[in-house]
A and B are shown apart, each in its own frame.
Chain A
């Protein structure tokens, strides 16, 4: 059951002219959120913007004694709402509704986890990596962006002993090209009987590539889908994803309640 928290901004760390990490005080959400779940944030009081915006929880914040105090979101300035979150000041409050949606399904050793992130799609993987590392899984992050200064929080993952493979479209850091390219190379080299789970979040073209690579190499995948969302609760039917229904047909399902995480083999790309 989601709750609505009037969450105070604890801090706002600008990462670039477009990206920031916003820390919000919401102990009850921090205590309950699972990797892959999201929060609907009201970016302004009143009616401009009117609707909430969905955000994956990036990190869970803890007090010194380990009790959760809140969470962070990885924000990219795109429109009016995200611009407000970019300039948010400590002490300001935002209404946060969550946690919402179905989380990632976790794996256990000896299954390895390969996480594939594009741009702001990095967001759900910090908490996922933490949980998988606690379970003893080997975790790799394939992380791509347009250029080097749009790659963030790499040390956060390295500090969890996550192997990190970077890719930039301009070649300014890591492999030159799309993040799906080093992923394809490593899938090619991987022993077929060494178990693996692919997790992916990012632009649709990247998700398509990951699901197709998963199909070719017979690897299961879980994709966190980003859709324009009205309510986050299943009320409006706007955030639909086309999926196979298991009986040879296809149907639209609401990504807010049946997702945002889908099995790659279930998604029909339109």
Chain B
């Protein structure tokens, strides 16, 4: 049985990845999961420098989901390379580094630095974090900026480049296409939905940042629709993200057109989920008499031609 998939030149043993920001730097989970059994480990978003992040409270549970506003606390790329990469190499993890900058030059600088690091398999560009004012989302909510930052990184590295898209736009497929035109090897989507929770007794926002990003099963149907739209509009692979908590959910994204998937919130609930997801994918292939998981990708049968998605992109 063949679970392998390809993201550009990158061959993955299976389509399962940890979602950035939901798996620490990977090493935190080395005791409970063999990191080499994941298709890839996508580590927490890194800036050039260390970042403190927001004041607590940083998360709150909501119906079938959670809001977070961590604020991209992180150790910075230098410490990551020095302190985390040796362990990740030893554990034979396929490492995708999520990078974030406030300028295109900073993204490019990060890309250059990480290109020379043994064991880094690809770069995911965080142009979609809804929780910080500077950088990130200012690139991901504008088609021209998206094109420019992807182009800038493209020129700086030979590693596969995977922009992570925000769902907080009117037409996400146009952003996927802008990324493709700029030379991206794949796109990953979706990041979290900008959202809010209020403590009605105190009449205050629950999160110190006021707003946060919604993740978890609550967002899954919207994410599936967005992956479906993007996969129809680009030729590069789409990596599906959004509330995946079972093999069934992963397959839903793959049938919609995702080549691989990322699992985030569900790993908080069950850090032992990874072998369960893998065996669930294998069982599905057996049940459907399929040899290769690749044959599932984009295998949706709609029966009718869906109407097109022509609209003006707009940041919400």
- The reply to whether B28 and A49 contact each other, CB–CB distance below 8 Å, is no
User: Is A206 an interface residue when CB atoms closer than 8 A count as contact?
Assistant: no
For the complex, give the distance between the alpha carbons of A4 and B60 in Å: 23
Which residues does chain B contribute within 8 Å of A97, judged by CB atoms?
Answer: 271
Known: A50-B217, A51-B66, A270-B55. A236 touches B60 (CB 8 A): no
- The reply to whether A51 and B268 contact each other, CB–CB distance below 8 Å, is yes
User: Is A10 an interface residue when CB atoms closer than 8 A count as contact?
Assistant: no
Which residues does chain A contribute within 8 Å of B86, judged by CB atoms?
Answer: none
Which stretch, A118-126, A142-150, A153-161, A223-231, touches the partner chain B? Answer: A223-231
- The reply to whether B269 and A237 contact each other, CB–CB distance below 8 Å, is no
- The reply to whether B32 and A238 contact each other, CB–CB distance below 8 Å, is no
- The reply to whether B53 and A240 contact each other, CB–CB distance below 8 Å, is yes
A21 → chain B closest CB, angstroms: 24
- The reply to whether B73 and A237 contact each other, CB–CB distance below 8 Å, is yes
Interface centre among A48, A237, A239 (most CB of B within 10 A): A237
- The reply to whether B58 and A237 contact each other, CB–CB distance below 8 Å, is yes
Which stretch, B16-24, B100-108, B146-154, B155-163, touches the partner chain A? Answer: B16-24
User: Is B64 an interface residue when CB atoms closer than 8 A count as contact?
Assistant: yes
Known: A47-B217, A251-B52. A236 touches B64 (CB 8 A): no
A234-250 interface code vs B (CB 8 A; 1 in, 0 out): 11111110000000000
For the complex, give the distance between the alpha carbons of A240 and B59 in Å: 11
- The reply to whether A48 and B29 contact each other, CB–CB distance below 8 Å, is no
Which residues of B in the span 8-64 have a Cβ within 8 Å of any Cβ on A? 21-24, 28-29, 31-32, 44, 50, 52-53, 55-61, 63-64
User: Is A102 an interface residue when CB atoms closer than 8 A count as contact?
Assistant: no
Which residues does chain A contribute within 8 Å of B70, judged by CB atoms?
Answer: 236-238
User: Is B135 an interface residue when CB atoms closer than 8 A count as contact?
Assistant: no
Instruction: Give the interface SS of chain A, mostly helix, strand, loop or mixed.
Output: loop
Known: A50-B61, A97-B271, A228-B57. A235 touches B24 (CB 8 A): yes
User: Is A233 an interface residue when CB atoms closer than 8 A count as contact?
Assistant: yes
- The reply to whether B272 and A4 contact each other, CB–CB distance below 8 Å, is yes
Known: A1-B32, A48-B63, A252-B73. A240 touches B56 (CB 8 A): yes
User: Is B201 an interface residue when CB atoms closer than 8 A count as contact?
Assistant: no
Which residues does chain B contribute within 8 Å of A4, judged by CB atoms?
Answer: 270-272
For the complex, give the distance between the alpha carbons of A237 and B272 in Å: 19
Which residues of B in the span 210-250 have a Cβ within 8 Å of any Cβ on A? 216-217, 245
B50 → chain A closest CB, angstroms: 8
User: Is B68 an interface residue when CB atoms closer than 8 A count as contact?
Assistant: yes
- The reply to whether A238 and B59 contact each other, CB–CB distance below 8 Å, is yes
- The reply to whether A240 and B58 contact each other, CB–CB distance below 8 Å, is yes
- The reply to whether B58 and A228 contact each other, CB–CB distance below 8 Å, is yes
For the complex, give the distance between the alpha carbons of A4 and B63 in Å: 24
User: Is A15 an interface residue when CB atoms closer than 8 A count as contact?
Assistant: no
Which residues does chain B contribute within 8 Å of A230, judged by CB atoms?
Answer: 59, 66, 68, 268
Which residues does chain B contribute within 8 Å of A235, judged by CB atoms?
Answer: 22-24, 28-29, 267-268, 271
Total number of B residues with any Cβ neighbor in A under 8 Å: 36
B56 → chain A closest CB, angstroms: 6
Which residues of B in the span 264-316 have a Cβ within 8 Å of any Cβ on A? 265, 267-272
Which residues of B in the span 122-176 have a Cβ within 8 Å of any Cβ on A? none
User: Is B119 an interface residue when CB atoms closer than 8 A count as contact?
Assistant: no
- Set A2, A50, A239: member contacting B65, Cβ < 8 A: A50
For the complex, give the distance between the alpha carbons of A113 and B31 in Å: 33
- The reply to whether A50 and B66 contact each other, CB–CB distance below 8 Å, is yes
For the complex, give the distance between the alpha carbons of A231 and B65 in Å: 13
B59 → chain A closest CB, angstroms: 4
For the complex, give the distance between the alpha carbons of A257 and B32 in Å: 14
A267 → chain B closest CB, angstroms: 13
What is the chain A residue whose CB lies nearest that of B243? A47
Which residues does chain A contribute within 8 Å of B270, judged by CB atoms?
Answer: 4, 95
What is the chain B residue whose CB lies nearest that of A53? B61
B129 → chain A closest CB, angstroms: 13
Which residues of A in the span 50-72 have a Cβ within 8 Å of any Cβ on B? 50-52
Which residues does chain A contribute within 8 Å of B265, judged by CB atoms?
Answer: 50
A40 → chain B closest CB, angstroms: 9
- The reply to whether A236 and B68 contact each other, CB–CB distance below 8 Å, is yes
- The reply to whether B64 and A47 contact each other, CB–CB distance below 8 Å, is yes
- The reply to whether A252 and B52 contact each other, CB–CB distance below 8 Å, is yes
A16 → chain B closest CB, angstroms: 22
- A-to-B contact residues, CB < 8 Å: 1-2, 4, 42, 47-52, 95, 97, 227-228, 230-231, 233-240, 251-252, 257, 270
A-B contact pairs, 29 of them (CB 8 A): A1-B31, A2-B31, A4-B271, A4-B272, A47-B64, A50-B61, A50-B269, A51-B61, A51-B268, A51-B269, A95-B270, A97-B271, A228-B59, A228-B60, A230-B68, A231-B268, A233-B32, A233-B271, A236-B24, A236-B59, A236-B68, A237-B44, A237-B58, A238-B57, A238-B68, A238-B70, A240-B53, A240-B73, A251-B52
- B-to-A contact residues, CB < 8 Å: 21-24, 28-29, 31-32, 44, 50, 52-53, 55-61, 63-66, 68, 70, 73, 216-217, 245, 265, 267-272
Closest 6 CB pairs of A and B: A234-B28, A231-B268, A1-B31, A238-B59, A47-B64, A238-B58
Known: A228-B58, A235-B22. 12 other contacts (CB 8 A): A1-B31, A2-B32, A48-B63, A50-B269, A95-B270, A231-B271, A233-B29, A235-B29, A237-B53, A237-B58, A238-B56, A252-B53
